[in-house]
């Protein structure tokens, strides 16, 4: 909508971004996420001036990240690249950026997870995070549409939640993305096309200590009606290659548990 035009841009202070994780890519984004702790909803706001004026991207500042946060934030970058790549919207430049971002995460996240002091891996993951956030201007999808309400209602880590629902979403979208994922697999050196890529995601998650499903993540007594309603209202839904409905979104949530 046009809500962003109603903000007085003259009183918005410039932002200097100093990222200390490598996943979200907020340092190159024009969006912010607000969590309403009373309604347990996440709202995404956009404005050109949310884009930082200055970015200090120093991988030394990410060396102290614990392995679990390294894994979760790294898989957030992977999810950004994957969903941008799979989005049906037209943005050829985003495709190339997303593909290379996937390659960087595939190559360097396991290294950063294994050795937090690996400065080359840390630096490459900072690049991947920025690339993912640039790429997802093309669109996101069901991974984020599911992850946002789960995080808001159950206080789960966003990137880790993305990783947990990634395989169910890949299967959900298979008919629309199988050929495209096959191209990505070839670029990434993964054999077996879609099936090989799907298996790779599961193996990567396991190697990073990511829970196998939402139940293992600690999501209990979920209000499925509320989750479905919130997911369908999430702006990420519009970028999914398969149309999301109340019925198939519920099925997707159930598969993620």
3-state secondary structure the chain: CCHHHHCCHHHCCCCEECCCCCCCCHHHCCEEEEEECCCCEEEEEECHHHCCCEECCCHHHHCCCCHHHHHHHHHHHHHHHHHHHHCCCCCHHHHHHHHHHHHHHHHHHHHHHHCCCCHHHHHHHHHHHHHHHHHCCCCCCHHHHHHHHHHHHHCCCHHHHHHHHHHHHHHHHHHHHHHHHHHHHHHHCCCCHHHHHHHHHHHHHHHCCCCCCHHHHCCCCCCHHHHHHHHHHCHHHHHCCCCCCHHHHHHHHHHHC
What is the pLDDT confidence band of residue 1, given thresholds at 50, 70 and 90? low
Pairing of strands 16-17, 54-55: parallel
- pLDDT at residue 12 above 90? no
- pLDDT at residue 60 above 80? yes
Average pLDDT, the chain: 95
Burial class (CB in 10 A: 0-12, 13-18, 19+), 33: middle
Residue 244 vs residue 47, higher pLDDT: 244
pLDDT of residue 209: 98
pLDDT of residue 118: 99
For residue 118 the two structure tokens come to 């690996």
| Average pLDDT of the residues in 13-23 | 95
Domain layout of the chain by residue ranges: 3-256
pLDDT digits (tens, 9 = 90+) for 69-119: 999 999 999 999 999 999 999 999 999 999 999 999 999 999 999 999 999
pLDDT digits (tens, 9 = 90+) for 186-221: 999 999 999 999 999 999 999 999 999 999 999 998
- pLDDT at residue 164 above 90? yes
For residue 49 the two structure tokens come to 């001036």
Could you say which architecture CATH assigns to the domain 3-256?
Answer: Up-down Bundle (1.20)
| Average pLDDT of the residues in 139-155 | 96
Sign, Cα dihedral of 236, 125, 36, 5: negative
| Average pLDDT of the residues in 33-43 | 81
Q: Which residues of 159-193 are buried (b: 16+ CB within 10 A; e: fewer)?
A: bbbbbbbbbbbbebbeeebeebbbebbeebebeeb
- pLDDT at residue 229 above 90? yes
pLDDT of residue 111: 99
Q: Which residues of 111-143 are buried (b: 16+ CB within 10 A; e: fewer)?
A: ebbeebebeebbbbbbbbbbbbbbbbbbbbbbb
């Amino acid at each position: 909508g046009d809500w962003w035009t109603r903000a007085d841009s003259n009183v918005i202070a410039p932002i200097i971004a100093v990222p200390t994780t490598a996943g979200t890519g907020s340092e190159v984004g024009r969006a912010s996420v607000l969590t309403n702790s009373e309604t347990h909803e996440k709202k995404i706001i956009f404005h050109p001036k949310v884009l930082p004026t200055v970015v200090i991207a120093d991988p030394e500042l990410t060396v102290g990240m614990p392995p679990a946060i390294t894994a979760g934030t790294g898989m957030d970058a992977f999810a950004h690249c994957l969903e941008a790549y799979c989005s049906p919207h037209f943005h050829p430049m985003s495709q190339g950026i997303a593909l290379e971002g996937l390659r960087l995460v595939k190559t360097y996240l396991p290294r950063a997870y294994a050795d937090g002091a690996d400065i080359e891996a840390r630096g490459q993951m900072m690049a991947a995070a920025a690339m993912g956030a640039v790429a997802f201007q093309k669109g996101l999808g069901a991974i984020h549409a599911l992850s946002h309400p789960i995080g808001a209602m159950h206080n789960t880590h966003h990137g880790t939640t993305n990783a947990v629902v990634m395989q169910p979403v890949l299967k959900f979208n298979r008919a629309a993305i199988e050929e495209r994922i096959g191209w990505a697999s070839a670029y990434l050196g993964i054999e077996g096309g879609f099936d090989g890529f799907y298996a790779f995601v599961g193996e990567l998650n396991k190697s990073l200590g990511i829970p196998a499903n939402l139940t293992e993540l600690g999501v209990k007594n979920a209000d499925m009606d509320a989750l479905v309603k919130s997911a369908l209202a999430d702006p990420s839904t519009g970028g999914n290659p398969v149309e999301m409905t109340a019925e198939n979104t519920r099925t997707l949530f159930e598969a993620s548990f």
